[in-house]
Amino acid sequence: MKTKIKEHLSDPQYLEQLYRSDKKGFANAFYEIYPDISDHSLAAFWKHRLDIQDKQKPVEVKKNIFFLIIACLIAGVLIKIPQIFGFDPDIYPFYERNAGLIVFLGLAFYAFFAKVAVTPKQIILILAPVIISALYINLLPVSPGSDSIKLAYLHLPLLLWCMYGLIYIDLDLSDRSKRIDYIKHNGDLAILVGIIMICGGILTVITLQLFSAIEINIEQFYFDYIIIWGLVSLPIVATFIIRQFPAIANKIAPIIASIFSPLVLITLLAYLISMLVGGKSPFHDRDFLLVFNMMLLGVMAIIVFSISENNPHKKQRFNAIILFSLSILAAIIDLVAVTAILYRLGEFGFTPNRIAVLGSNLLILGNLILIILDLYRVNFKDKEIKHIELTIARYLPLYAGWIVFVVFGFPLIFGLK
């Protein structure tokens, strides 16, 4: 929606048709991109029009608050199932299996029912894979030593992230610009969740200290009924804020992206130099290889998020060069990681963990190569940055396919070992 609005700012008839097709989606998208298009005459008209209509919709805000409360209550009750039914989550790994499902159900409930209209077909298309995933993950045998089952636990939240993406894009797989909007939404969501967690942490410390000063111990109660419920409700609350006040996240996210990209580049370069000088090698140190891969995933996320937050209608040469350099460094790290994993496979044999890490690294490497080629064209061939966004959007189904394979295929291939 945001991409369509930007590309047709000079076409009032198209914008009117777009608005009539999805009034709420249009308004949310418009407010998010307004800081970037505020100098356009037609943007000022739409801003005034949407502001007037927003003042006339208090009932809709109350409805969204109602669904927010219901979604948080659902997530909070589900996360307390071990206490409600009196079983030990250390014996049966309830949280490892179901924490992602619970957060997803809360998000899905709010995202679905806060819409203007929801069709039964949409509900069935989303609920069916969720029910299948829930039954599958909970019917897996309890086997603490099984790496393939642990990988299924770890990858299930990623699979649910893909399913939530389908809800976000209204099950429209043909429109790749919606996938980029979903990536931007996740960046905004991560920033807001981080801010809320910091504020919640400060409030927690103050609350516990105040009650401690009057010699009332509320730590166990506060942890069981405030912190746990609060953590599982965080993504839902952040989603509500983004939907109701889209301009807030839209102003913060690009600033965060532009600040952190050069800082990550400097840190990464210093890290690689220190690694070479210190003689540290991921070929023989398993824990170091794990940290190496975690760093790669973080850098990859920053690259994708930074690209998605770039304004395609403004030339940002400095940011493009930073991202180009960062992508090259990330590709070098990935090549080192892939080489180290191949070495460990030849030296110690095949295991579910090594195959999973190898597959993930190869997928990321392929994505990075495509991003580097596009960034080269942006920096030196005057191509528009939206081509990189489309490259990322086209690549997302490959990640989804790999995640599905790890969750459902690994336990079967490796015999639950």
- CB-based contact 350:269 (threshold 8 Å): no
Residue range 125-148: mean pLDDT, rounded: 83
Phi, psi at residue 115, to the nearest 5°?
Answer: -75, 165
- With bands split at pLDDT 50, 70 and 90, how would you rate the model's confidence at 60? low
In the chain, % of residues over pLDDT 70: 88
Whether residue 385 has pLDDT greater than 90: no
Q: Residue 71 domain-assigned?
A: no
Residue among 298, 320, 299 at smallest CA distance from 309: 320
Q: Residue 255 domain-assigned?
A: yes
Residue among 15, 3, 110, 11 at smallest CA distance from 67: 110
DSSP secondary structure code for residue 225 in this structure: I
208, 86: one domain: yes
pLDDT value for 286: 65
What whole-number distance in Å separates Cα of residue 166 and Cα of residue 147? 29
281, 186: one domain: no
CA distances from 167 to 103, 126, 308 (A): 14, 8, 20
Whether residue 55 has pLDDT greater than 60: no
Q: Residue 63 domain-assigned?
A: no
What whole-number distance in Å separates Cα of residue 375 and Cα of residue 384? 9
Whether residue 182 has pLDDT greater than 80: yes
What whole-number distance in Å separates Cα of residue 401 and Cα of residue 395? 10
Residue 48 CB neighbour total at 10 angstroms? 10
118, 158: one domain: yes
97, 48: one domain: no
Could you identify the residue written with the tokens 């608050």?
65
What whole-number distance in Å separates Cα of residue 85 and Cα of residue 318? 57
pLDDT digits (tens, 9 = 90+) for 105-117: 888 888 777 765 5
What whole-number distance in Å separates Cα of residue 11 and Cα of residue 308? 24
pLDDT value for 173: 78
Whether residue 56 has pLDDT greater than 60: no
In the chain, % of residues over pLDDT 90: 7
Lowest mean pLDDT among 46-60, 83-97, 143-157, 300-314: 46-60
Whether residue 361 has pLDDT greater than 60: yes
Phi, psi at residue 346, to the nearest 5°?
Answer: -70, -30
Q: Residue 68 domain-assigned?
A: no
Handedness of CA 150, 156, 157, 162 (dihedral sign): positive
Single-letter code of the amino acid located at 321: I
What whole-number distance in Å separates Cα of residue 152 and Cα of residue 406? 6
Lowest mean pLDDT among 106-110, 171-175, 183-187, 208-212: 171-175
252, 173: one domain: no
Q: Among 203, 221, 244, give the residue marking a domain's end.
A: 244
Q: Residue 61 domain-assigned?
A: no
Q: Among 189, 222, 244, give the residue marking a domain's end.
A: 244
Strands (E), 294-403: none
What whole-number distance in Å separates Cα of residue 249 and Cα of residue 241? 9
Residue range 176-186: mean pLDDT, rounded: 82
- Its domain, for residue 395, covers 247-413
pLDDT value for 405: 93
- With bands split at pLDDT 50, 70 and 90, how would you rate the model's confidence at 329? confident
276, 231: one domain: no
Q: Residue 62 domain-assigned?
A: no
Whether residue 281 has pLDDT greater than 80: no
Residue range 290-317: mean pLDDT, rounded: 70
- CB-based contact 169:182 (threshold 8 Å): yes
Whether residue 259 has pLDDT greater than 90: no
199, 308: one domain: no
- Quote the tokens at residue 261: 């990209």
Each as own residue / partner, the long-range contacts of residues 163-167 (CB below 8 Å, 24 or more positions apart, any chain) are: 163/104, 163/108, 163/126, 163/129, 163/130, 164/104, 164/107, 164/108, 164/111, 165/396, 166/125, 166/126, 167/108, 167/111, 167/112, 167/126
237, 316: one domain: no
What b/e string do you get for 360-397 counting C-beta neighbours within 10 Å, with b at 16 or more? Answer: bbebbbebbebbbebbeebeeeeeebbebbbbbbebbe
- With bands split at pLDDT 50, 70 and 90, how would you rate the model's confidence at 398? very high
Handedness of CA 352, 354, 360, 362 (dihedral sign): negative
pLDDT value for 89: 76
Residue among 335, 326, 286, 334 at smallest CA distance from 307: 326
207: left (phi over 0), alpha (psi -120 to 50) or beta: alpha
240, 266: one domain: no
Residue range 157-171: mean pLDDT, rounded: 84
Q: How many domains does the chain have?
A: 3
- CB-based contact 167:108 (threshold 8 Å): yes
195, 86: one domain: yes
What whole-number distance in Å separates Cα of residue 360 and Cα of residue 342? 13
Residue range 208-233: mean pLDDT, rounded: 88
292, 358: one domain: yes
What whole-number distance in Å separates Cα of residue 401 and Cα of residue 408? 11
117, 218: one domain: yes
> What does the DSSP assignment read for 307-353?
HHHS-TTS--HHHHHHHHHHHHHHHHHHHHHHHHHHHHHHHH---HH
Whether residue 25 has pLDDT greater than 70: yes
Single-letter code of the amino acid located at 92: Y
pLDDT value for 402: 92
Residue range 270-291: mean pLDDT, rounded: 73
